[in-house]
A and B are shown apart, each in its own frame.
Chain A
Amino acid sequence: QQQVKQSPQSLIVQKGGIPIINCAYENTAFDYFPWYQQFPGKGPALLIAIRPDVSEKKEGRFTISFNKSAKQFSLHIMDSQPGDSATYFCAAGRRRALTFGSGTRLQVQP
């Protein structure tokens, strides 16, 4: 019941495209859903996060869409750039405990 399933495992898009990464969770007690961005050899950095009381949150070119009934949430990257090439992790949790997805390796081609 703690699992968070993330897809796809890898993704290649052209510059300007809109990559979409999806996550699904099982535990209905989860109330915090962050996304992290990780560059090779670095620690993950918080990108954007959402609570289940809203269905969408935007920060710059990054948008989280949240579907509470389906227990799914997704990350959209608008106008993607080569600098967005990284591994993205979703997570779900409650009270400071997070369960992470397996990660999506995104490559944005020039």
Chain B
Amino acid sequence: SQTIHQWPATLVQPVGSPLSLECTVEGTSNPNLYWYRQAAGRGLQLLFYSVGIGQISSEVPQNLSASRPQDRQFILSSKKLLLSDSGFYLCASSGGPGDTQYFGPGTRLTVL
């Protein structure tokens, strides 16, 4: 089965600072990869998804970007964080013949 790693687990950053969150996947090859954001007590908002290396689709226009430099590595970045970027960021992976998405443990980002 797949294992998704995310780091850091928690992050506190000042407004205007850059951001880099990393996600790596084990146990599958050529997965679809996803970045979601979850505001406190809210649902899951899909931010980006990738079907392969260098292939990124953005679902919501914002100051975040994503990159996939390797098959099982997915990075979420920002050049300048906003207060509204605070939230719980989840990486998910979908690989193999099924449609199931498996989630990582998440990164709690607080922008002050």
Q: Chain A residues near B105 (CB, 8 Å)?
A: 42-43
Q: Chain B residues near A61 (CB, 8 Å)?
A: none
The distance in angstroms between the C-alpha atoms of A94 and B108, with both chains bound, is: 29
Within 8 Å of chain B (Cβ to Cβ): is A17?
A: no
Comparing B14-22, B70-78, B93-101, the segment that makes contact with chain A is: B93-101
Whether B100 and A89, one on each chain, are in contact in the complex, defined by CB atoms closer than 8 angstroms, is: no
Q: Chain A residues near B90 (CB, 8 Å)?
A: 43-44
The distance in angstroms between the C-alpha atoms of A94 and B99, with both chains bound, is: 7
Within 8 Å of chain B (Cβ to Cβ): is A100?
A: yes
Within 8 Å of chain A (Cβ to Cβ): is B32?
A: yes
Cross-chain pairs A/B with CB under 8 angstroms, 20 sampled: A32-B99, A32-B100, A34-B100, A36-B103, A41-B106, A41-B108, A43-B4, A43-B90, A43-B104, A43-B106, A44-B44, A45-B103, A46-B102, A89-B43, A93-B99, A94-B99, A96-B99, A100-B44, A103-B42, A105-B41
Interface residues of B in 10-55 (CB under 8 A from A): 32, 41-44, 49
Within 8 Å of chain B (Cβ to Cβ): is A86?
A: no
Interface residues of A in 40-91 (CB under 8 A from B): 41-46, 49, 89, 91
A11 CB to nearest chain B CB (Å): 14
The distance in angstroms between the C-alpha atoms of A34 and B102, with both chains bound, is: 11
Interface residues of B in 50-102 (CB under 8 A from A): 90, 94, 99-102
A96-B99, A102-B42 given. 7 additional CB < 8 A pairs? A32-B99, A43-B4, A43-B105, A46-B101, A97-B49, A101-B43, A103-B43
Q: Chain A residues near B100 (CB, 8 Å)?
A: 32, 34, 46, 49
Q: Chain B residues near A44 (CB, 8 Å)?
A: 44, 90, 103
